[in-house]
Amino acid sequence: MNTFIRRQIQNFAIFLLVIIGFGNLLAALPLKFAKAFEHLYGNMIDPNAAAIHGVLSFLLGALMLLLAYSLYKRVRNAWILEVIVIFAALVLEIGHFHKFSVPIVIIELFVLFVLAFSYKDFSRLPNRVTLKWAFVFVGISFVLLIANASLGLYIMRPHINDVHTVYNALLGSVNLLIFMDTSVLDIKNNVGQIYADSLIVLNWICIFASALLLMKPLVYDYIHDKHDKERVRKIVLKHGQNPMSYLSLENDKRYFFSKDVEGVCSYTIVGKVLVCCGDIICDKKDGFVFLTELITFARQNGLDILFLNVTEYFLDLYKTAQFGIVKYGEDACFNLSEYSLAGGKVAKVRAAINHANKAGITVAEYQPKIARNLEIEKEIFEISEEWFRSKKISEMTFMLGGIGLDDPLDRRYFYARDAQGKMLGFAVFLPYLNGSAYLVDVTRRKSDAPQGVLEKINYEAFMVFKGEGVQLVNMGLSPLYNVASGDKITINEKLFAYVYDNMNDSYDFKALHHAKEKYAPSYWEERYIAYSPKPFSPQYAYAIVKVQNPDNISKLVLNQLKTKKEEKDKSNK
């Protein structure tokens, strides 16, 4: 059968489950005890079964509705639970026959038939850790619930006729929790009735909580284990060709490890989009195997895939896998073997450095792995905090690292002091290409720092790297720069170009590009985003903004509107 047709039949069966679920909820409403609705419900429900419909029907209906969404997402455990629920519903309908039993039984049998013959399509896997704890939770909760119910019924024996001993209480609690019907107990008064009803409610709370845990899809949590993080670090240092690779070690990343090859992908999830930081990290010959694993993982969890800031290294592989490709900007790259401050293109940087030299500013490298200096680290944090306070919004994340002094690893730190020994600014560099290249990741200075502080820090660091034999330094991405430069300009590239030209009030793309351009890069490397499935949709655009501004989308919009209003007010004066 055609996959599309099979999926539509499954969706129709799921829709029928929703209708049955609402039907069970309707049958369970207390309206059936009102005289005004007595005739209506008399045609729908066996009056002798009204009590059980008041509890079991409601909970079966609610559970059907809860499971329906997870079934639509093709979660395997939802399929298992739904089959069990339908069997329970069939028993309820057949055991308490009424006017509408025949059509409902036919519908439930049809749904059961569809689910049974399409079980392979419900392959979205549960989280193994969550699955284990779900079963632990189920077991412990039911043991405690039965123990509590037995003790409670024994204490409440003056209000219940057939409870005289602990054994009677245990037997009564088991019957109560299995049949979900207080009629299994000979209750004397309202106190006993309220207690029995509360036990049923507690039992179903356990069932629903367990169902939610069992249906949770397979999504890895943030890695906190040092052994796993060291594993990521080794893969990054060995195979990280993308300047963004070392950002995998930041605490805001999740990890997908390959089962068949040596490889890792760092990511987060925004809505239904798995957003990857840079490229997959593995040997080029293993790229196809790893990418196939990642695509399978995403599909099992109902996620689309978005790679941010990818290089040309795996670009053909992404195209072969039917990913959409859009240019995202260009990186400023410096070939250290030929880089110098000579020439007109770098005149602004040269002048700034000369100004810093005249002011007596010096640059040094801080090496926390060799010797920790808490005073230096305190000064770095103070500069960083002041820098944050001066910004309109907090710093972008995910594609930009932090200071990382809590666990420096392979980061390199350079800082500048004035003639009086006051720290004025610092920069953090990250390695890639097996240590033959460095990315300028974080640069910050004091608000009152003289001209040339950051320029001197960067240039001095360049020269240190050059003396060590490092071949390349990357000053990072100029987002959306030159995106509409190809022969065939796509609609997406036109959209990005428009954002570059018109959204500088929220994020000054042009100023960022000019700040890199003044250093006269040896060349610019194109960067892309890759996404699957096509086409490029608003959810991808939202994911790009949200992943880098997790708490500040509203601020971005408000800031943009405020700036536009100020411009309009000025033009009207």
**How many Å apart are CA 480 and CA 501, to the nearest integer?**
9
pLDDT of residue 482: 80
pLDDT of residue 461: 97
pLDDT band at 118 (very low <50, low <70, confident <90, very high): confident
pLDDT at 54 over 70: no
pLDDT at 503 over 70: no
The rounded percent of the chain whose pLDDT value lies above 90 is 42
Asked if residues 11 and 72 have their Cβ atoms less than 8 Å apart, the reply is yes
Taking only the tens place, the pLDDT of each residue in 389-439 is 877 555 667 888 889 998 999 999 999 999 999 999 999 999 999 999 999
The rounded percent of the chain whose pLDDT value lies above 70 is 73
pLDDT at 63 over 90: no
Alpha carbon separation from 95 to 42, 54, 179, 380, 493 (Å, rounded): 17, 15, 13, 74, 64
Asked if residues 59 and 205 have their Cβ atoms less than 8 Å apart, the reply is no
If you average pLDDT over each of 116-120, 307-311, 481-485, which comes out highest?
307-311
pLDDT band at 299 (very low <50, low <70, confident <90, very high): confident
* Closest to 17 measured CA to CA, from 76, 46, 60: 60
pLDDT at 309 over 50: yes
Q: Please state which of the ranges 80-84, 258-262, 321-325, 407-411 shows the lowest mean pLDDT.
A: 80-84
State the angle between helix axes of 3-28 and 101-117 in degrees (0 to 180), rounded to the nearest 10: 140
pLDDT of residue 56: 63
Q: Please state which of the ranges 225-234, 293-302, 317-326, 412-421 shows the lowest mean pLDDT.
A: 225-234
**How many Å apart are CA 473 and CA 523, to the nearest integer?**
11
**List of residues 6+ apart from 265 with CB closer than 8 A:** 255, 256, 276, 280, 281, 290, 294
pLDDT of residue 180: 61
pLDDT of residue 132: 61
486 CB neighbour count, 10 Å cutoff: 11
If you average pLDDT over each of 278-287, 482-491, 499-508, which comes out highest?
278-287
pLDDT at 162 over 80: no
Average pLDDT along the chain: 81
Alpha carbon separation from 570 to 46, 48, 196, 375, 566 (Å, rounded): 75, 78, 71, 47, 6
**How many Å apart are CA 208 and CA 214, to the nearest integer?**
10
Tokens of 181: 């019907």
pLDDT at 220 over 50: no
**List of residues 6+ apart from 180 with CB closer than 8 A:** 52, 55, 56, 59, 200, 203, 204
Domain limits of the chain? 3-215, 222-533
Taking only the tens place, the pLDDT of each residue in 504-533 is 555 677 888 999 999 999 999 999 999 999
Residues 254-271: what's their mean pLDDT? Answer: 93
pLDDT of residue 252: 86
pLDDT band at 319 (very low <50, low <70, confident <90, very high): very high
pLDDT at 236 over 50: yes
Higher-confidence residue: 223 or 149?
149
What single letter denotes the amino acid at residue 118?
S
**How many Å apart are CA 493 and CA 125, to the nearest integer?**
37
Q: Which fold has domain 222-533?
A: Aminopeptidase (3.40.630)
pLDDT at 453 over 90: yes
pLDDT of residue 218: 46
Higher-confidence residue: 504 or 345?
345
pLDDT of residue 306: 97
**How many Å apart are CA 428 and CA 479, to the nearest integer?**
20
Q: Please state which of the ranges 295-309, 359-373, 406-420 shows the lowest mean pLDDT.
A: 295-309
pLDDT of residue 33: 45
If you average pLDDT over each of 85-94, 141-150, 341-350, which comes out highest?
341-350
Helix (H) or strand (E) holding 286: none
Neighbour-count burial for 280-302, b at 16+ CB within 10 Å, e otherwise? bbbeeebbebbbebbbebbbbbe
pLDDT at 50 over 60: no
* Closest to 444 measured CA to CA, from 424, 461, 465: 424
**How many Å apart are CA 544 and CA 530, to the nearest integer?**
12
Asked if residues 380 and 403 have their Cβ atoms less than 8 Å apart, the reply is yes
Residues 31-59: what's their mean pLDDT? Answer: 52
Higher-confidence residue: 569 or 348?
348
Neighbour-count burial for 509-519, b at 16+ CB within 10 Å, e otherwise? beebbebbbbb
**How many Å apart are CA 93 and CA 100, to the nearest integer?**
9
